[in-house]
């Protein structure tokens, strides 16, 4: 039997959200300039940050920090320069 603690659960949710964003992107349901794509990546990375910080998995922690940072940067950029892409829709 596998026992999950809250940090492992957050990590798994993070992985699922990042993979979901990637799958929707590759299926052309989300575009790189949609806020939803970057929100999924950011929330997923946040779950991974918490999980990897608590488990001291430093390489994964750094990767998650970078993904979160890039996502925040793109969200700010999209919301400030591309009003047509502010929608949170999936095509």
Per-residue model confidence (pLDDT) at position 3: 54
Cβ(36)–Cβ(80) below 8 Å: no
Q: Which two tokens stand for residue 72?
A: 């925040």
- pTM score of the predicted model: 0.85
The DSSP secondary structure of 37-91, one letter per residue, reads HHHHHHHHHHHHHHHHHHHT-HHHHHHHHHHHHHHHHHHHHHHHH-GGG------
What's the pLDDT at 88? 57
Query: What are the backbone angles phi and psi of residue 79, rounded to the nearest 5°?
Result: -70, -25
pLDDT confidence of residue 1: 44
Tell me which residues of the chain have a pLDDT lower than 50: 1
Q: What is the pLDDT of residue 79?
A: 84
Check residue 91 and give its pLDDT: 58
CB 76 within 8 A of CB 38: no
């Amino acid at each position: 039997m596998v026992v999950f603690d809250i940090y492992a659960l957050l990590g798994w949710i993070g992985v699922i959200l990042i993979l979901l964003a990637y799958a929707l992107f590759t299926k052309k349901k989300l575009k790189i300039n949609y806020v939803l794509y970057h929100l999924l990546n950011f929330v997923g990375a946040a779950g991974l940050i918490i999980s990897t910080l608590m488990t001291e998995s430093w390489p994964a922690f750094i990767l998650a920090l970078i993904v979160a940072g890039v996502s925040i940067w793109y969200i700010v950029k999209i919301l400030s320069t591309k009003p047509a892409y502010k929608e949170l829709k999936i095509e």
